[in-house]
Amino acid sequence: MGSRFDEMRIFSGNGNPDLTGLIAARVGVPLGDATIVQFSNENIFVKLNESVREKDVFVVQSLSMPNLSDRILELLIMLDACRRASAGRVTAVIPYFAYGRTDKRDQARVPITARLLADMIQASGAQQVLTIDLHAGQIQGFFNIPTDELTAMHLLVRYWAEKGWDDMIVVSPDVGFAKRARNFAEALNAPLAIAEKRRVQHLGRGDGIHSSSEVLNLIGDVTGKRCIIVDDEIATGGSILEVVQLLRSKGARAIYACCVHPVFAANAAERLRAGGIEELVTTDTLPLPPEKRWPTLTVLSVSNLIAEVIQRIHSGVSVDTIFSQRNHPALGH
Ligand code: R5P
């Protein structure tokens, strides 16, 4: 099928330029020429150095650290620049969507920042959004424009499947992720265990409740098994490392882990490296500088996946079929 736009342009923010470079190379177009500078007053300035008039424009920006707020603003300003330069259509490609954990009012007087961010992206001129493994599926509905959420879980499934192990068990690090972990386990034809945090109450000397603490329980038997912990993202590494200890205490043979988004905040990389995980597998939705890499960290690229979908969007071809073609069950939410 042909495109209703004569030409496509792919521009990169500073959120993950290496990934954008790989995407553009795979699509077979040169990276769009843009200048992004931050003035001494910290104002961000963007200039597109080539015409985008009536073109199909993709702005790729991962909402990454450091300087996450700058990355967000950069995306908004780039979208605005494209719209004001009469782009034919503008698609925000956001491999990692930040603030996904602030998606509901679960305490008094708190914001829904994921919704606010979605509103700002639309208000800035995005006409479509392409993203990967949102923290919660309902964030799709925060946008009133077409939003394609891809999953990179099949890349992780394929990686572990190629190991050919017959003693694998998939472990969900919490109950909230259990459904997605179950899909992951099914795709691997492996059983599932679930780590579950429970608040237990301790009785004091009298009859009254004295205190409470959280304990991590395991639903499932991991004795003698190779455990593969799967999560959507690793931020501080705290959740994963607690689960690693639990699995060890339950007699796991070896412990592996994987996630789509390596946020690796603060000293997470150091802690994960020393945490007794045989191998940690992730993707390049977020940039990983050399100091956040180590020999047993494997990084799979989502560039081919994004490139393929960009080409399909440009040509007006269904994006859904990309999953069935790969013969994977629904690995999403
Ligand atoms: C939580 O709901 C997520 O799925 C991850 O488990 C969480 O973001 C990991 O955070 P951290 O690495 O800081 O424990």
Give the pLDDT means over successive 10-residue stretches in the chain (333 positions). Answer: 88 98 98 98 98 98 98 98 98 98 93 98 98 94 96 96 97 96 97 90 64 85 98 96 96 98 97 97 98 98 97 92 52 66
Q: Which domains does the chain have, with CATH numbers?
A: 8-152+302-331 (3.40.50.2020), 153-300 (3.40.50.2020)
Ligand 1: distance of its center to the CA of 94 in Å? 19
Radius of gyration of the chain (CA): 22
d(CA 235, ligand 1 centre) in Å: 6
Residue 75 contacts residue 53 (beta carbons within 8 Å): no
- DSSP assigned state of 33: -
φ, ψ dihedrals at 147, nearest 5°:
-130, 115
Of the residues 197, 225, 250, 292, only one is catalytic, namely 197
From the CB of 233, is ligand 1 less than 6 Å away? yes
Peptide bond into 30 cis (omega under 30): no
Measure 177 CA to ligand 1 centroid, in angstroms.
10
